[in-house]
Every structure is written in structure tokens, then in C-alpha cells.
Amino acid sequence: MSVLMSAPENDPAHFLKIASQGAGISTHQDLWRWLQGDVQQWLQHDVMLVGWGDFRTSALHFDIISSQPGMRSHDWTLHALAPLISYFRDCWIAAQQQPCELDVGACANLVADARRNAFALDKIPCMSRALVHGIAGSRHGSERIFAAVSREPFTRRGAGTALKLLLPFMDSAMRRMPSAPSRIGQGDTAQADAARLAALSGRERQIMGWVAMGKTNPEIGSILSISEFTVKNHLKNIFCKLDVSNRAQAVSTLSLLVAHA
């Protein structure tokens, strides 16, 4: 692991141009175009891997911005990437939260072992080095780790500083957009569905039964001998547990969960 902090030799005016472009990014497509465009003159890379969340509990999320086959968010599961993301974060902490360059080959087993049953390893491009930097967590946000991964060593002087300067624009853009969808294995889906179904109490399932029959809140309250306010509170909890926003979505989601149980 090496810490990279030398000054970039690129034209500062060119960086200001790149920064102004980065400030207007609002979609994954825009972010991809930006990273594949003029940014490459400052930070040449093939894949940008971003991980964030609570690294103490492994409650993580990730995004991958890349043109490489097999190296996009929907190709991967969190289970496969979490060990690698955590390793990158640990190296960044060890480098006193400064940009650091890592040998991807030396930590490839972190991905290979986790991914063995998910995808063919021959789909992974031959990556050589990763340039890693992050944003420390705070009361209002989690740690975020950015890894610029390349098939070739980072020979351009000042690549670490370039990543450090560009990172705030990437971070700001990604906070404004939803995460790209990651791949979820069949086993992961079944476990997630079972957990969501089990989260509903007996009373909540009972209420949803009447909701599915078209009963209103006052009618459900009268049937179950509870107040309309209590019914509303139950429905609020149900919507939260099922990750839906209305009655129709709740009925549809619960029907699917029951069918797959």
C-alpha cells in the first residue's frame, strides 16, 4: 500500500472546467459520462467502486460506475463485494484517511471466494491497481469509500490528489440520485421475502386481510373492536415493514410474499 499525495501537473483551469461539469450531475448516466470524459485526463481508471454505510455492522451499500462487462452494479451482490469494500476502507484508515494505492491482485480472493456461486470469474476484467479515498462519517452521514480501479498501474503523477479533489463532486452527485440496482440472488430474495412476511404481527396480518377485502378503516375498527386511530397506526407500521406507501401496494406486496412463502 502506498500513500499518494503529490501535486497534479494538469492545468488548473481544466480542473475548474471539470468541476463545473461535476456540479451539475444528477443521473447515473451523467456521472458515467463525466468519469469517462475529461476526468480520465486527471484520473485514468476503468471502474469506480463506491461503498458506504456502517462498516462496524456491515450495513453497507454500493454502486459501480463502469463500461466493463461484468463490472456494473446489477452484476454483483453486496455479499460478494462487502469484504472487498471493507478491506479498501481499512487500508484507507491505515493510510490516515489519505488516498492510497492498492494491489487488486493481492486482495482478489476477497471477491473470488464470495462470488464463487454467483457468477463466472472469467467475466471479471483483469484489474491491477485500485486508488482509494473516502469521506469520514459524521452524525448526519455514513462513511463513503471510493475506489478507482484500473487494469494498469497509476503512472500519472498526482492521481491521488486528483481523486481527492474530484471526490466531493462524485459524492454530492451520488447523494442526489438513487443507488443503481444491484443483483440479488434467488436465495437472497427468498430470505428477504420471508423476513418481511415474518415482521408482520398477527394483528397486522388480520388487518391486511380486511384491507384486501376493501374494508375502510372505520369498518375494520368496528369489526376488530378497536379504534380507527389504532387501525391507522397499524397500517402505518405495515407500510413501513413492507416498504410501500399505500393500501393497494400493501395488498399487492403481501400477496406476492405469501405466494412465495
pLDDT tens-digit series, residues 6-55: 444 557 777 788 888 888 888 888 898 899 988 888 888 999 999 998 88
Residue 128 has pLDDT above 60, yes or no: yes
Read off the pLDDT of residues 51-109 as tens digits, 9 standing for 90 and up. 998 888 778 889 999 887 777 787 777 877 888 899 999 999 999 999 999 988 777 67
Rounded Cα distance between 120 and 70, Å, is: 9
Q: Are residues 167 and 203 in the same domain?
A: no
Higher-pLDDT residue of 51 and 140 is 51
pTM above 0.85, yes or no: no
What is each CA distance from 121 to 66, 112, 166, 224, in whole angstroms?
17, 7, 31, 56
Paired sense of beta strands 59-66 and 47-54, if any: antiparallel
Q: Are residues 124 and 249 in the same domain?
A: no
Q: Are residues 161 and 200 in the same domain?
A: no
Q: Are residues 29 and 128 in the same domain?
A: yes
**Burial group, residue 230, by CB count within 10 angstroms (0-12, 13-18, 19+):** middle
Q: Are residues 160 and 59 in the same domain?
A: yes
Q: Kindly state whether residue 55 falls inside one of the protein's structural domains.
A: yes
**What average pLDDT score do residues 237-243 get?**
83
Residues 6+ apart with CB under 8 A from 118: 77, 79, 80, 183, 185
Q: Kindly state whether residue 180 falls inside one of the protein's structural domains.
A: no
Q: Kindly state whether residue 181 falls inside one of the protein's structural domains.
A: no
Q: Kindly state whether residue 9 falls inside one of the protein's structural domains.
A: yes
CATH code for the domain in which residue 155 is found: 3.30.450.80
Higher-pLDDT residue of 191 and 237 is 237
Give the chain's mean pLDDT. 79
Report the Cα 83 to chain-centroid distance in Å: 14
- Sequence letter at residue 19: A
What is each CA distance from 148 to 34, 50, 199, 229, 230, in whole angstroms?
14, 9, 39, 52, 51
- C-alpha angle 43-49-51 in degrees, rounded to nearest 5: 130
Instruction: Specify the residue for cell string 434467488.
Output: 186
CATH code for the domain in which residue 218 is found: 1.10.10.10
Structural domain for 206, as ranges: 186-260
Q: How many CB atoms lie within 10 A of CB 88?
A: 25
Number of domains the chain contains: 2
**What average pLDDT score do residues 246-259 get?**
81
- The DSSP call for residue 122 is G
Question: Which DSSP helix (H) or strand (E) runs through 62?
Answer: strand 59-66
What is each CA distance from 77 to 25, 73, 127, 174, in whole angstroms?
26, 8, 19, 19
Q: Are residues 161 and 54 in the same domain?
A: yes
